[in-house]
Amino acid sequence: MELTKLLGRFFWIFLSFLAISCQDDEVIDPGNEDGDGQEPDTEVVNLALGKTVETKVNDLNGQGSNPKMAGLITDGDSTTYWESADSYKHSILIDLGGVQEVSKIVVRWADGRGCNAYNINFGKERDKITNVVGKNNVKEDKISTFEGFREEARYVEFVVRGRLDYKGGYRIAEIEVYNENNEEHVNTPEEQKAIDTITERLRADYLNDDPDEKGVGSFMNSMQPDGSWSDIDYDDQISVDGWKPEGHLNRLRTMAINYSHPKSSFYNNPTLLEKIERGLLFFKQKAPVSSDNWYYNDIGAPQKYMVPVLLIKGSLPRKNMMAVSVYLKDKIEGFIGGGKNLSWIAEIAMHKGCAEDNYSTVQHSFNAIASTLAIVPKQGDEGIKIDGSYHQHHAQIQSGSYGMSLVDDISQFMEISAETPFANEFTSEKKEIFHTMLLDGTLLLSYRQAIDFGTRGRNVARPSTGYTTISKDVLRKLAVGDPDNAGMYNGWINHIEKGSAFPKPNVNKHFWKSDMMTQHGEEFYLSAKIISKRTYGTESLNQENLKAFNLPLGSTNIMTTGNEYNDIFPVWDWTRIPGTTAINNQDKTVLNGYQIGNNEFGGGASNNLDGIMAFSGEYNGLQANKAYFFIDNMMICMGSGISCHEGEEILTSVEQNFLNGMVVYNDGEEKQLDSDGDLQGKQLKWVHHNNTGYIFDQADNVTMRNNTQTGSWKEINGTGKSDLISKKVFSLWFNHGVNPIDESYRYIVVPGQSLSSFRTLVDQVDLQVAQNSSVVQAIRKNNKYGFVFYQKGSVTMDDDLKVSVDKPAIVLIEKNDSRYHITVSDPTYTQSDLTLSLNKKLEAVDGVTLTEEGCNVAIKLPTDDYQGSSITKSYMIK
């Protein structure tokens, strides 16, 4: 039996009989103080009805006390109850959604599980709550009533601190909050106008497309009297293969869209409305839960529930609307700092506020969404990072997944808040953070219609539409909202739609908070993703991304069309992810949970035009030092110290992408590889495919293959389809043999080159490798030098330049005329300074000390949020 306690004679009769104080047995009637038994002229307003509740052990900073059931305290149903954890003291905090006047509180205990001591605390702000009412040495096991005070508060905290003679936790059926004037906050005309504007804009979005009437009639006819459907398993708690109760909400959404859409034959159908309301009430009362994924309970189900609630607003009396909207909760405070999860939670609160005409809740939601536009400095905390990347699920770059979704949300909420007071939440400072995140982050991780697969998390295990980068609609809105950068946004749109030149070419970007580096030309994209103990490389959760172990271990993206890796993942050989060095054993690709870095050495140095990325680590018993030199729009890849004692064959993958046109190679003569060709053990000079050239310096352990590869989404996603997919794939890799010891490799990637231009360029590349060892990797290309020092040491280049460092470092030097431009970084993220020595005399400016051999250059390294980033200084040669 459901008791709404909202309106009507039944409520008043019921309350007059049950509302008995456990302290003095007086009749308590919050709406009829005269006790004349007559129905009052006004409705009793329970300010707590449907409001968000937090339940904690001891105090507000304690751990949760059965938080999943906390909503039962304010659900308006005395037949349900919340039971605390089995301990002495608990805090129950009710958020009224806005500041209200409070003068009476009624607590209804269940099954005699009351208490003998408690406090009632109030506050306008969550962190400024003070005690007002308290009782000690009482015995209250049915109803506790508090009167004789008047407080203005948004937060009401009920603290229980003494059980009666029973075992187990407290049981509270309801906490009701009233005020003396029997009224709640009434919106001003301006506030109501703002709510109505947001409501109509949200509704317009849901009703944008023509309605699909398919199934509506059968849904109505097959609905049970209680609002359920017999073919839906409401007790299903396992979400791995799809959470069954969602089917109920999907049907209600379809029904509500048809009820609300003027083009539907079901438009304003009263029977359909009654069915929708009944279905919502059933789901609210049943409250299905997922036991294996919190997402469905806190986000997934409420997100689906909120749509029909909003769409039928205005068609139900207020008391009925409150009865269905109570399922939606404002859980914002529990998700502050939660990045994308917070935006989802805020969206739910926004719908709740609009449905209930609660201005404070709607404002709270916009404030929460705007709060995501902040730089989050602590590594491991989720959100926007100072380098323009976005983290979710610990210190893991998710710019192409959760971050992309957050961008969509922020853009949408900025748009729907326009010309309302809620737009003030998006200050100029927050907008600047948003624009910077996009133009210095998302843009530089994208190419045409694709975003780097290293930023997509487990989304790579889900089929896409072939479009994985930012929405063009978002960019169009930004071109209007950020006129100073309109040219960049429009260029970005043209790049996506027409394949025009990248709008920010010849830029190297080191994402030092995320262990990634990208390089853009007008017609190509290059990147390298590494791992360290400061980052989570990727994740395999909810049976997704099952073969991702090697994904962050030096993977590269090489794109000239943007389609190179578009849904290639089911047919990939995951032992050969481009750029990685790995064991040739499919079992060793399996990942469970997070891929958390264990290596300290891992970082990069960038002067914004050129850069170097490198790491040294041991994973699956395989040790390797891997470096990527991005110089002059080429990527020079080098590996050293490759050793393994696992009895396994070790491979370094150069490329594995979709076959696109001819594969031409040179092993002394220029030849073309057949479409099903397989070439091994040749001394290759170079290979060309997909407007990209690969230079090998006569390596004889390279395998090149064109073949049809077959797989299924289910192999990498436990919930994916098992249908086999076959694709033509081009592969290129080094074979280091079984149990290699101190093996090495090097190759050059030259993207954006036609075959004819590449032929000409090959003989012009002036690359000198001075060393490729476990101590240092050092190269010179014309007037540019790159060094990866895995420990302190020195190296002499082919032109006699000698460079030494006193600790591990990554160094990039460019010589122009009479100056050295020196860029350095600390790949261990632990040092505050570095001394670099040259056998050249430099002008004795600050930090430069002349020596007999040349000079020492003392450099202060970036600290705090910039630790691990680069510093560039210029020095005059004497």
Residue 81 bears catalytic tag: no
Check the CA dihedral 473-478-480-484 and report its sign.
negative
If you search the block for the tokens 């008995």, which residue do you land on? 20
Give the CA-trace dihedral at 7, 13, 19, 20, to 10 degrees.
Answer: 170
Task: Give the tokens for residue 66.
Answer: 């059965």
Task: Give the tokens for residue 362.
Answer: 């709607």
Contact 713, 720 (CB under 8 A): yes
Annotated catalytic residue, options 203, 351, 458, 746 = 458
Angstrom distance (rounded) from CA 312 to CA 273: 8
Distance of CA 494 to the CA centre of its chain: 27
Angstrom distance (rounded) from CA 870 to CA 606: 6
β-pair partners for 656: 731
Angstrom distance (rounded) from CA 34 to CA 31: 9
Task: Give the tokens for residue 535.
Answer: 């980052």
Angstrom distance (rounded) from CA 322 to CA 615: 57
Radius of gyration of the chain (CA): 32
Residue 458 bears catalytic tag: yes
Contact 51, 96 (CB under 8 A): yes
Residue 261 bears catalytic tag: no
Task: Give the tokens for residue 520.
Answer: 């853009």
Annotated catalytic residue, options 118, 178, 402, 565 = 402
Q: One-letter amino acid identity for 841? A: K
Q: Which helix (H) or strand (E) holds 352?
A: helix 340-356
Rounded to a whole number of angstroms, the distance between the first and last alpha carbons of the chain is 92
Check the CA dihedral 864-867-869-875 and report its sign.
positive
Task: Give the tokens for residue 318.
Answer: 């207020």
Task: Give the tokens for residue 876.
Answer: 């005059």
Annotated catalytic residue, options 90, 261, 391, 393 = 393
Check the CA dihedral 358-363-364-365 and report its sign.
positive
Q: One-letter amino acid identity for 195? A: I
The catalytic site residues sit at: 393, 402, 458
